[in-house]
Chains A and B, each alone.
Chain A
Amino acid sequence: MTPDHSLGNGELDELIRRSRQSFIDRNDAGFDFQAGLADVRARARRLPGHVPTGVLAAAVADACDRVDEFVALLGRAVLAADLQSLVGGQVQYAAEALLRARDQLLAWSLSGAAAAAAFAAARDALGQADLMARVSTGHPLVAGDDLASLLDQLEHAVISLLPPPGRDGDPGQARTNRHRRDDPPSGQRRAGGSSP
């Protein structure tokens, strides 16, 4: 569209507004929200002296709490069914993998690959434990709950806080916040009963 070059103010304003709206519409249409959000989170972690607060800290705290609750659920299930001797080792292995990922998430040093490996290890160990429980008692390891589904939801909650592969390299290396593992950010709380 060739602009009219004998424009008055109204026509000039209309040209600018039309151009601006077109620019915004085109950018909105082409914007990958999930990738953009992951990039923003990765950048937030790299900010000098950044202390996780607000929305990001709340999301991390929530994910950590969910890991703690899941591990506590496993512990209660094993004790309730008196399966400690039978599947205790498998459940302990899964719990340790999840808690290690949880601690790394809290310390902002968890990479997507490490998270995926931790959940894969936990899924494998719990699958074996569940099978052994079913064979031994005729009941699933965690009564009334789909263990695999719970683990999937938990993995999604954790992974959603991490940048997608290839966008952030190794978050451990890119980490700029200086929290130590034994010095969690303010506002972070650790649920009780985190070990089976």
Chain B
Amino acid sequence: MWHLRCLGASPAEAADAVQDAFAHALGAADRQRDELAWPAWLRTVAVRSYLRTVAAGGRGRVSVQTMADVPEVRVSADSAAEVQARLEEEMVFSLVATLPPRQRLVFALHFEGCGTAEIAASLSMTQAAVRQNLARARAALRHSLMQEQQ
């Protein structure tokens, strides 16, 4: 879900693609013996499902969501923290969505725990290119955060 949201999927699109990936997995359970390969397999299938939805629906643009202000209501400490956490999540998705597609992919995979070599292999890139994309993504996000502050 997080990976797909980083790629620009709405919550509904992400949930739909993940459910589709697990449906495909049911039929592939006897072909995929390596348990460690499942996360990458599911991620790949979910991304393809999402991209098919985008293509079929004509959604070519990434929608960048604007952040709402914190509502002016009395809230408990727990609910205030929850609201802040949600705002922070949406802010991160919005900022990541402004990255070029390659940087978005590298960035999302990096924060899902994939190593440089693994990302390079899955995206058919060199490890140097992975590091370069990650560095550029970080720089762009820092810049975006500063702009948002101003």
Binding site for B on A (CB under 8 A): 1, 3, 5-7, 9, 12-13, 15-20, 22-24, 26-27, 36, 39-41, 43-44, 46-47, 50-56
Contact residues, B42-73 vs A (CB, 8 A): none
Q: Which residue of A lies closest to B143 (CB)?
A: A5
B22 touches A40 (CB 8 A): yes
Contact residues, B6-40 vs A (CB, 8 A): 19-20, 22-24, 26-31
Q: Which residue of A lies closest to B28 (CB)?
A: A54
B116-149 near A? 1/0 per residue, CB < 8 Å: 0000000000000000000000100110011011
* 4 nearest CB pairs, A to B: A54-B29, A43-B23, A5-B149, A44-B23
Complex interface: chain B residues within 8 A of A26 (CB): 82, 85-86, 89
A24: contacting residue among B2, B20, B23, CB under 8 A: B2
Given contacts A7-B142, A47-B27, A51-B27, contact A1 B2 (CB under 8 A): no
Complex CA–CA separation, A7 to B29 (angstroms):
44
Complex interface: chain B residues within 8 A of A3 (CB): 88, 91, 145
Complex CA–CA separation, A27 to B15 (angstroms):
10
Complex interface: chain A residues within 8 A of B23 (CB): 40-41, 43-44, 46-47
List 24 A-B pairs, Cβ < 8 Å.
A3-B88, A5-B142, A5-B146, A7-B145, A9-B138, A12-B141, A15-B88, A16-B92, A16-B111, A19-B92, A22-B88, A23-B2, A24-B1, A36-B19, A40-B22, A40-B23, A43-B20, A47-B24, A50-B27, A53-B30, A54-B26, A54-B28, A54-B31, A55-B29
Most buried by B among A22, A50, A51: A22
Complex CA–CA separation, A87 to B20 (angstroms):
48
Q: Which residue of B lies closest to A16 (CB)?
A: B111
Q: How far is the CB of A162 from chain B (nearest CB, A)?
A: 14
The interface residues of chain B, by DSSP majority, are classed as: helix
Q: How far is the CB of A52 from chain B (nearest CB, A)?
A: 7
A43 touches B148 (CB 8 A): no
Complex interface: chain A residues within 8 A of B92 (CB): 15-16, 19-20
Given contacts A9-B138, A54-B28, contact A23 B84 (CB under 8 A): no
Q: Which residue of A lies closest to B107 (CB)?
A: A16
Given contacts A9-B138, A12-B138, contact A43 B19 (CB under 8 A): yes
Contact residues, B91-107 vs A (CB, 8 A): 91-92
Complex interface: chain B residues within 8 A of A56 (CB): 26-27, 29
Q: How far is the CB of B65 from chain A (nearest CB, A)?
A: 14
Complex CA–CA separation, A3 to B85 (angstroms):
11
Q: Which residue of B lies closest to A45 (CB)?
A: B23
Complex interface: chain A residues within 8 A of B28 (CB): 53-54
Given contacts A56-B26, A56-B27, contact A19 B19 (CB under 8 A): no
B88 touches A54 (CB 8 A): no
Complex interface: chain B residues within 8 A of A17 (CB): 111
Q: Which residue of B lies closest to A11 (CB)?
A: B142
Complex CA–CA separation, A50 to B145 (angstroms):
46
B88 touches A19 (CB 8 A): yes
Complex interface: chain B residues within 8 A of A5 (CB): 142, 145-146, 148-149
Q: How far is the CB of B78 from chain A (nearest CB, A)?
A: 13
